C-alpha cells in the first residue's frame, strides 16, 4: 500500500474473498433524534413513546436507515475504506432496533472484479446475535493504480 493511501483503506489489489470487517455501536436516543433531524423523518414511532407503544412494535424503534448507515460506516471506513464509492445496496429489515440496542454491523467480500474495481459485499446487522437487517452492497474500491 502506498504511503499516501488513507489508513484503513484496502485497495482492490489487496481485497480477498471472504474478508470481513465489522463495528459495534449502541444506538442511543440522541442518535435517533439526530437522525430524525438530519433526515427530516420525524415519524413518531421513532420519537414519541406514547405513540409508539400503540404500534406493532410496542415501543420506539430506530430508523431502519440509521441501522443501515452502520453498514455504510464499515464500508467507508474499513472495507474497502476511504475512497470507496457506493454503487448499490439492497436491504431487508428483519426486526426492529430499539434505543439502547448494541448493533453489530458486518460486511463480507463475496465477489471481486479486479479489472472493474468492483466488490460485492454481503451485509448484515445483528442485535444480541439475531439478524435485524440483511443485504448486499456493490462498491467501487480504491486502487493503487489510480492513486
Report domain extents, the chain: 12-146
DSSP 50-85: HHHHTSTTSS----HHHHHHHHHHHHHHTSS-TT-E
Residue 45 and residue 82: Cα distance in Å, rounded?
Answer: 34
Which fold would CATH assign to domain 12-146? Answer: Thiol Ester Dehydrase; Chain A (3.10.129)
What does each of the 147 residues of the chain score in pLDDT, given as a tens digit? 334 445 679 999 999 999 999 999 999 999 999 999 999 999 999 999 999 999 999 999 999 999 999 999 999 999 999 999 999 999 999 999 999 999 999 999 999 999 999 999 999 999 999 999 999 999 999 998 865
Exposure of 2 by Cβ count < 10 A (0-12 exposed, 13-18 middle, 19+ buried)? exposed
Residue 72 CA, distance from chain mean position: 4
pTM score over 0.85? yes
Calpha distance 113→21 (Å, rounded): 19
Amino acid at each position: 500500500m502506498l504511503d499516501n493511501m488513507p489508513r484503513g483503506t484496502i485497495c482492490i489489489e489487496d481485497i480477498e474473498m471472504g474478508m470481513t470487517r465489522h463495528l459495534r455501536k449502541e444506538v442511543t436516543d440522541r442518535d435517533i433524534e439526530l437522525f430524525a433531524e438530519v433526515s427530516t423523518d420525524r415519524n413518531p414511532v421513532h420519537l414519541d413513546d406514547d405513540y409508539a407503544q400503540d404500534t406493532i412494535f410496542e415501543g420506539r424503534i430506530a430508523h431502519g436507515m440509521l441501522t443501515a448507515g452502520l453498514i455504510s460506516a464499515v464500508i467507508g471506513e474499513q472495507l474497502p475504506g476511504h475512497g470507496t464509492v457506493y454503487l448499490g445496496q439492497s436491504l431487508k429489515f428483519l426486526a426492529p432496533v430499539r434505543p439502547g440496542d448494541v448493533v453489530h454491523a458486518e460486511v463480507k467480500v463475496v465477489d471481486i472484479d479486479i479489472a472493474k474495481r468492483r466488490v460485492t459485499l454481503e451485509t448484515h446487522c445483528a442485535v444480541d446475535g439475531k439478524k435485524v437487517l440483511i443485504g448486499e452492497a456493490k462498491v467501487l474500491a480504491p486502487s493503487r493504480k489510480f492513486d
